[in-house]
């Protein structure tokens, strides 16, 4: 497990008696220390500055800011300031499991509250000294009896919580609770922004990784459909002119298709991308094909900033390719069974339920039952939507597989 994950901080003991008289000054300093979070939410030093600012406004003996994703600690920055390294090591290795402030019930109570809470409120009236965490661990680092903190949800199914601890006789007052509330509000916004930036960067890296792979025809277009980059298979496709062609620098439908579907498809991709936050691709069956369609276009926006629109156009021809998902990835992402993962790969070859049933020597109703469960798990409406959904995801899953392989080695 990573350390108490974005930052852990502690300050020298400073009596809070004069805090009320200097409230505006301390509060202004706190707000000043929070500004870097919004300018650089992925910078470790910005989080360190912010937590230092909180510890100055609300003096404490030990403090922590913890970010968790999916129940496991996210070893984000791993910074420590002014706190016993032995505390950090032991907490990370063992005692986080019995930390009463980080348990599921305590986190839910803090998130529901929506404000800072004192330790006895989080522990439902229990004294901190009665917990295993205090008896086995905390009391070795001082008589830390007073706690103040809170938790909040962040995107991606995770949460974050902040905790400050003081020794006996140094309770937290209303002004200090207000400072923690303000800190939590800014930290929540900064963490969500950091997640969004990471997601956009990951999507862009995945698209660029697929361009580098160069196995499928791929072009990079601007918002007018002008070709900015084409890999060798795409150049060959443009020379052939059957599916795609060029009019000047603008990509158009090929000569064998009745209508020019390219411009409307590009507009649809950009509208859908802006609606979804600029990170999702769309998959479109090329019009004018006999059923079932074999040629699809995946349009993956790389950037939707005004004046810098970049869209990757990937040609998926099921007659000339055999794309395959990693079964383990499908099982982890969507809860597919191993058989459902096989069905997914069969659909990507252009096979229908009847074809799969004949090839596997099973009843077609059995295959349809698998497809029905896959529709429910992916939120798609029918087999055609499911096939487009899988084709749209294939670039990202291929990149994820390469990342997993790199980590394994």
SS3 189: helix
With a cut of 60, say whether residue 63 has pLDDT above it: yes
Return the number of other C-beta atoms located less than 10 Å from residue 32's C-beta.
Answer: 12
DSSP result, 301-322: EEE-STT--EEEEEEEETTT--
Encoding tokens for residue 373?
């469960």
Residues 81-87 have a mean pLDDT of: 62
Domain borders along the chain are: 7-198, 214-321, 323-409
With a cut of 90, say whether residue 370 has pLDDT above it: yes
With a cut of 90, say whether residue 40 has pLDDT above it: no
Residues 383-401 have a mean pLDDT of: 65
* Helix-then-strand count for the chain, H and E: 14, 14
Residue that the structure tokens 């500055």 belong to: 49
Identify whether the C-beta of residue 231 lies closer than 8 Å to the C-beta of residue 217. Answer: yes
Look at 71 and 289; give whichever has higher pLDDT.
Answer: 289
Residues 202-219 have a mean pLDDT of: 63
Could you tell me the pLDDT band of residue 316, with boundaries at 50, 70 and 90? confident
Same fold, 7-198 and 323-409: no
Among 260-274, 287-301, 341-355, 394-408, which is the least confidently predicted range? 394-408
With a cut of 60, say whether residue 245 has pLDDT above it: yes
Residues 293-314 have a mean pLDDT of: 76
DSSP result, 329-358: HHHHHH---HHHHHHHHHHTTT--HHHHHH
With a cut of 70, say whether residue 238 has pLDDT above it: yes
User: What is the rounded distance in angstroms from the CA atom of residue 382 to the CA atom of residue 368?
Assistant: 11
Could you tell me the pLDDT band of residue 371, with boundaries at 50, 70 and 90? very high
Could you tell me the pLDDT band of residue 369, with boundaries at 50, 70 and 90? very high
End-to-end CA distance of the chain: 20
Highest mean pLDDT among 159-168, 260-269, 285-294, 314-323: 159-168
Look at 306 and 205; give whichever has higher pLDDT.
Answer: 306
So what's the pLDDT on residue 248? Answer: 83
**Total length of the chain:** 409
Residues 374-386 have a mean pLDDT of: 84
Radius of gyration over alpha carbons of the chain, in Å?
A: 27
Residues 379-399 have a mean pLDDT of: 71
Could you tell me the pLDDT band of residue 287, with boundaries at 50, 70 and 90? confident
- What is the maximum span of the chain, computed from C-alpha positions, in angstroms? 83
Residues 345-352 have a mean pLDDT of: 79
So what's the pLDDT on residue 372? Answer: 92
* Exposure string over 310-334, b if 16+ CB within 10 A, otherwise e: bbbbbbbebeeeebebbbebbeeeb
Among 15-29, 302-316, 324-338, which is the least confidently predicted range? 15-29
With a cut of 60, say whether residue 22 has pLDDT above it: no
The top-level CATH class assigned to 323-409 is: mainly alpha
So what's the pLDDT on residue 179? Answer: 87
Residues 355-374 have a mean pLDDT of: 89
With a cut of 70, say whether residue 70 has pLDDT above it: no
So what's the pLDDT on residue 366? Answer: 92
So what's the pLDDT on residue 355? Answer: 82
So what's the pLDDT on residue 265? Answer: 75
Alpha-helical runs (H) found in 44-131: 44-57, 85-93, 104-113, 119-122
With a cut of 60, say whether residue 217 has pLDDT above it: yes
Which helix (H) or strand (E) segment holds residue 39: the answer is helix 23-39
Query: What percent of the chain is predicted at pLDDT more than 90?
Result: 3
Q: What's the CATH fold of domain 214-321? A: Beta-Lactamase (3.30.450)
Identify whether the C-beta of residue 238 lies closer than 8 Å to the C-beta of residue 246. Answer: yes
Identify whether the C-beta of residue 144 lies closer than 8 Å to the C-beta of residue 166. Answer: yes
So what's the pLDDT on residue 83? Answer: 60
With a cut of 90, say whether residue 254 has pLDDT above it: no
DSSP result, 262-304: HHHHHHHHHHHHHHHTS---EEEEPTTPPSSP-EEEEEEEEE-
Q: What's the CATH fold of domain 7-198? A: Beta-Lactamase (3.30.450)
Residues 6+ apart with CB under 8 A from 327: 336, 338, 341, 342, 345
With a cut of 50, say whether residue 3 has pLDDT above it: no
Encoding tokens for residue 367?
């295959």
Residue that the structure tokens 């659909």 belong to: 347
The pairs formed by 67-70 with CB atoms below 8 angstroms and a separation of 24 or more are 67/5, 67/6, 67/154, 67/158, 67/159, 67/160, 67/191, 68/5, 68/102, 68/158, 68/159, 68/160, 69/156, 69/157, 69/158, 70/156, 70/157, 70/158
């Amino acid at each position: 497990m990573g350390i108490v994950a974005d930052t852990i901080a502690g300050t020298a003991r400073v009596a809070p008696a004069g805090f009320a008289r200097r409230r505006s000054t301390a509060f202004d300093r706190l707000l000043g220390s929070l500004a870097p979070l919004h300018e650089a939410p992925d910078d470790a030093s910005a989080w360190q500055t912010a937590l230092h600012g909180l510890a100055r406004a609300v003096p404490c003996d030990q403090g922590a800011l913890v970010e968790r994703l999916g129940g496991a600690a996210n070893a984000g920055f791993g910074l420590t300031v002014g706190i016993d390294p032995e505390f950090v090591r032991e907490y990370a290795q063992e005692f986080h499991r019995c930390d009463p402030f980080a348990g599921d019930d305590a986190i839910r109570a803090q998130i529901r509250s929506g404000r800072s809470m004192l330790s006895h409120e989080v522990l439902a009236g229990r004294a901190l000294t009665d917990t295993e965490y205090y008896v086995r661990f905390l009391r070795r680092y001082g008589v830390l009896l007073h706690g103040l903190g809170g938790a909040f949800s962040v995107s991606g199914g995770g949460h974050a919580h902040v905790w400050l601890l003081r020794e006996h006789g140094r309770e937290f007052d209303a002004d200090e609770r207000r400072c923690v509330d303000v800190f939590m509000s800014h930290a929540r916004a900064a963490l969500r922004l950091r997640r969004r930036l990471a997601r956009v960067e990951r999507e862009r890296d995945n698209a660029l990784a697929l361009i580098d792979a160069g196995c499928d025809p791929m072009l990079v277009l601007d918002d007018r459909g002008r070709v900015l980059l084409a890999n060798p298979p795409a150049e060959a496709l443009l020379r052939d002119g059957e599916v795609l062609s060029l009019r000047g620098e603008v990509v158009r439908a090929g000569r064998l298709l009745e209508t020019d579907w390219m411009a409307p498809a590009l507009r649809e991709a950009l509208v859908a991308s802006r609606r979804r936050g600029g990170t999702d691709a769309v998959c479109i069956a090329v019009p004018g094909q006999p059923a079932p369609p074999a040629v699809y276009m995946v349009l993956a926006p790389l950037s939707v900033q005004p004046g810098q629109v970049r869209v990757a156009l990937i040609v998926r021809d099921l007659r000339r390719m055999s794309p395959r998902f990693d079964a383990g990835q499908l099982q982890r992402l969507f809860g597919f069974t191993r058989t459902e993962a096989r069905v997914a790969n069969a659909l990507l070859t252009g096979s229908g339920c009847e074809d799969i049933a004949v090839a596997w020597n099973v009843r077609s109703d059995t295959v349809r039952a698998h497809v029905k469960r896959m529709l429910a798990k992916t939120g798609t409406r029918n087999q055609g939507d499911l096939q487009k959904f899988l084709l749209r995801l294939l670039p990202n899953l291929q990149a994820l597989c390469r990342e997993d392989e790199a980590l394994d080695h």
